[in-house]
């Protein structure tokens, strides 16, 4: 089950995703969270944030909308109050970092670089207040700029978390790689909304929010496949994974590791279940190294069918 991600050894390729696992304390009351390969903690900003007003969560068909607004205690409080406990669990800690300006990103990453975190996950779905609220991750140029800036601030492995709200995910992944990222993770949530027909008001106080859960899995799987074909750095996949079979699909598409998010909320015991089922899958298939799954998608038959179809179409025309 062991694998390596940017030089960091994981006991398995399954990671608790940021935003759905807090700092792990609540889940550790239910099971030993050291069973995970790694934990990506709740998104951290330089200063504490109270987040958005309620309502902040809405259930949808096969998914969940959230507009929590990055509520967190800030980098310094995390390093002081949460990180020692997490580090004692003997599990790699990935610090997910967000910000509203280049300066905030840079300073937060510098402070985390002097702490025992194993890796930085750069959340670039945040609005840049210096550029009218446009997200840092919505164009290859912005992805390149913020990645290059942060790359100069840390010697830790740097993983860039890409937004799916772009025209070409492969271009975004390539921009992150060109700017010095050691890995990319995708996808973040898809922008959506919900309306209360009784009041004719938005369910979320912020009107729109991030859609996650099984509803986005086909989109996430396609984007992981596209990104993995475009870059040579590791790709970490996420988006709607609720079973070990889902996790295997992402790895076949090209992900070297996967993150499990919303499933932790709908079923707090999903982590240990998926990890155990993933192990049984490998044993059943006689696979001794999970890396053997990565990028093993067989497209030759599909290519052959497509070629036959094109030939028949040209004959008719």
| 86 Cβ neighbours under 8 A, 6+ residues apart | 23, 24, 39, 41, 93
| 255 Cβ neighbours under 8 A, 6+ residues apart | 224, 228, 235, 236, 237, 294
Q: How many residues does the chain have?
A: 317
DSSP secondary-structure letter at 189?
P
Beta bridge partners of 8: 5
Contact (Cβ atoms closer than 8 angstroms) between residue 224 and residue 255: yes
Q: Among 58, 66, 64, which Cα is nearest to 215's?
A: 64
In the three-class reduction of DSSP (H, G, I as helix; E, B as strand; rest coil), residue 51 is classed as coil
Q: How far apart are CA 58 and CA 64, in angstroms?
A: 6
> From residue 35, how far is each of 29, 57, 241, 257, 297 by CA, in Å?
13, 28, 17, 15, 28
Q: Among 184, 157, 156, 179, which Cα is nearest to 169's?
A: 184
Which residue is listed with tokens 């912005």?
142
- By annotation, the residues acting in catalysis are 126
């Amino acid at each position: 089950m062991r694998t390596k991600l940017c030089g960091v050894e994981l006991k398995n390729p399954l990671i608790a995703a940021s935003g759905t696992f807090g700092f792990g304390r609540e889940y550790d009351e239910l099971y030993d969270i050291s069973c995970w390969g790694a934990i990506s903690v709740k998104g951290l900003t330089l200063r504490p944030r109270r987040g958005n007003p309620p309502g902040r969560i809405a259930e949808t068909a096969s998914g969940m909308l959230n507009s929590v607004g990055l509520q967190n205690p800030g980098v310094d409080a995390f390093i002081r109050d949460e990180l020692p406990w997490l580090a004692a669990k003997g599990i790699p800690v990935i610090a997910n970092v967000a910000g509203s300006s280049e300066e905030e990103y840079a300073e937060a990453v510098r402070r985390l670089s002097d702490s025992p975190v194993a890796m930085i996950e750069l959340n670039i779905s945040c609005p840049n207040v210096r550029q009218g609220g446009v997200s840092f991750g919505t164009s290859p140029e912005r992805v390149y700029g913020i990645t290059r800036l942060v790359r100069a601030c840390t010697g830790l492995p740097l993983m860039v978390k890409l937004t799916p709200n772009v025209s070409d995910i492969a271009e975004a992944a390539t921009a992150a790689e060109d700017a010095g990222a050691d890995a990319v993770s995708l996808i973040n949530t898809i922008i959506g909304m919900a309306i209360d027909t009784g009041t004719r008001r938005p369910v979320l106080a912020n009107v729109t929010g991030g859609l996650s859960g099984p509803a986005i899995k086909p989109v996430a799987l396609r984007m992981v496949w596209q990104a993995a074909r475009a870059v040579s750095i590791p790709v970490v996949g996420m988006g709607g994974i609720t079973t070990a079979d889902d996790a295997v699909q992402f790895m076949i598409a090209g992900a070297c590791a996967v993150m499990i998010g919303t499933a932790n909320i709908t079923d707090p015991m999903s982590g240990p279940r998926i990890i155990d089922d993933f192990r049984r899958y490998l044993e059943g298939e006689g696979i001794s190294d999970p890396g053997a799954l990565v990028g093993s998608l067989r497209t030759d038959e599909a290519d052959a069918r497509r070629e036959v179809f094109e030939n028949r179409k040209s004959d008719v025309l």
